[in-house]
Structure 1
Amino acid sequence: MRIAIFNQKGGVGKTTTALNLGAALQRSGNPPLLIDLDPQGHLSSIHGKTPLESGHSLFAFFQDLRALEELEVDWENIGRLIPAHQQLIKVDSIFGKGPAILNKLRHGLDVLEEKHPERHCLIDCCPYIGVLALNAIFASDCLVIPVSTDYLSLQAADQITRTLQVLEPVMKRRIPRYYLLTRFDRRRRMSDDVRNKLRERYGDEVLDTAISENVTVAESPSMNQDVFRHNASSTGAHDYRALFDELVERGSLPIRTTR
């Protein structure tokens, strides 16, 4: 299963969700492949030991035609990572937006999945619609759309929905998507207001799980750790474990049960 973590708005928890959902998969005995598709490289920086050269990053897949498998690096306690590089910002201007480039990641993952058919792939997307984000959308089986509990994020969710509606005739399919509430503060009425409005618009596509505003979630990346390694008993760890369980229950994360 390929899941893209996507939102056109920054600061909503895309990278944190990719990191901690990946860690939850590993803890279940199903270590995933994470792909950092953001030129800012936040996910790669959390790893902390990725190669600095663009030739060993995802950029080399686009620019130098290197196979995805050649670019993987090990990520202890999570799985594998294909790191980003700031050179990825050039992909739009170098390659344009033809069908070949927009489907490049999908074709690359098809080849990779022949060798690792049961491995899940989580894609951390950049916060804008361009060649990179379109590659993720075209390649994915499912989208998780983090929505922080503020009204601007609610507007961003509507914008994403309109974008996906425009893309559906091109892709000839409707991508399943789930809206994930993040930075949820149960003490604030606005958090409940945003959740209610989101459910009015998108119904069952809104996940029951909400990621609480939590110090552990916020500070663990700065220590190059996922939330479980940083504090497995924290509210943040509980929330991301619940997210994993809900996606499994909904059929979006079929797993080999080892626990």
Structure 2
Amino acid sequence: MRIAIFNQKGGVGKTTTTLNLGAALNRSGNPPLLIDLDPQGHLSSIHGQAPLDAGQSLFAFFQDLRTLQELEVEWEHIGRLIPAHQQLIKVDSIFGKGPAILNKLRHGLDVLEEANPERHCLIDCCPYIGVLALNAIFACDCLVIPVSTDYLSLQAADHITRTLQVLEPVMKRRVPRYYLLTRFDRRRRMSEDVRNRLRERYGDEVIDTVISENVTVAESPSLNQDVFRHNASSTGAHDYRKLFNELLERGSLPVTTR
């Protein structure tokens, strides 16, 4: 299963969700592949020891025709990572937006899955629509769209939905998507209001689990840790465990129990 974590708005928890879903998968005995598709490289920086050379990053897959398998690095307690590099920002200007480049990641993952068909892939997307994000959308089986509980994020969710509708005739399919509320603060009326509005618009596509505003979630990346390793009994760890279980129940994360 390939899941892209995407929102055109920054600061909503894309990287944090990618990291902690990956950790939850690993804890279930199903270590995933994480792909950092953001030139800012936040996910790669959390790894702590990812290669800094562009030739060892995802950029080399686009530029130098290296295979995805060649670029994988081990990530203890998570699985595997294909790191990003700042040079990824050049992909739009170098390659344009033809069908070959937009489907490049999908074809690369098809090759990977021949050798490891049961491994899940989580893609941390950049916060704008361009060649990189389109590669993720074209390649994924479903999208998780984190929406922080403020009104601008609600507008961003609507914008993403319209973008996906425009892409559907090109892709010849409707990409399943789940809207995930993040930075949820039960003390604020706005959080509940945003949740109600999101449910009115997108119904069952809104994940029941919410990711609460939590210091453990916020500080664990600075320690190069997922939320479970940082504090497995925290509210943040509880929330991401619930998210993993809900995606499991919805059939979006079929796993092998070990």
How big is each residue's C-alpha offset from its partner over 1:103-149, in whole Å with a ceiling of 9 and x where there is no partner? 00000000000001000000000000000000000000000000000
How big is each residue's C-alpha offset from its partner over 1:53-73, in whole Å with a ceiling of 9 and x where there is no partner? 100000000000000000000
Alignment partners' CA distance in 2, 1:240 and 1:139: 24
- Tell me if 1:258 matches 2:218: no
Percent identity of paired positions between Structure 1 and Structure 2: 90
Unaligned runs of at least 5 residues, structure 2: none
How big is each residue's C-alpha offset from its partner over 1:220-259, in whole Å with a ceiling of 9 and x where there is no partner? 000000000000000000000000000000000000x436
How big is each residue's C-alpha offset from its partner over 1:193-246, in whole Å with a ceiling of 9 and x where there is no partner? 000000000000000000000000000000000000000000000000000000
Alignment partners' CA distance in 2, 1:115 and 1:193: 46
Alignment partners' CA distance in 2, 1:52 and 1:143: 28
Alignment partners' CA distance in 2, 1:162 and 1:35: 25
Alignment-derived partner of residue 133 in structure 1: 133
Question: The residue matched to 1:243 in structure 2 has which SS?
Answer: helix
Scaled by the length of structure 1, the TM-score of the pair is: 0.99
- Tell me if 1:107 matches 2:107: yes
Alignment partners' CA distance in 1, 2:257 and 2:229: 19
Alignment partners' CA distance in 1, 2:52 and 2:217: 26
Match runs of 1:154-165 below 5 Å: 154-165=154-165
Matched positions, count: 258
Question: The residue matched to 1:30 in structure 2 has which SS?
Answer: coil
Unaligned runs of at least 5 residues, structure 1: none
Alignment-derived partner of residue 39 in structure 1: 39
Alignment partners' CA distance in 1, 2:224 and 2:20: 12
Alignment partners' CA distance in 2, 1:253 and 1:143: 12
Shift of 1:184: 0.1
Scaled by the length of structure 2, the TM-score of the pair is: 1.00
How big is each residue's C-alpha offset from its partner over 1:147-198, in whole Å with a ceiling of 9 and x where there is no partner? 0000000000000000000000000000000000000000000000000000
Question: The residue matched to 1:122 in structure 2 has which SS?
Answer: strand
Q: What stretches of structure 1 move > 3 A for 4+ residues in a row?
A: none
Alignment-derived partner of residue 146 in structure 2: 146
Alignment partners' CA distance in 2, 1:76 and 1:62: 26
Alignment partners' CA distance in 2, 1:203 and 1:12: 20
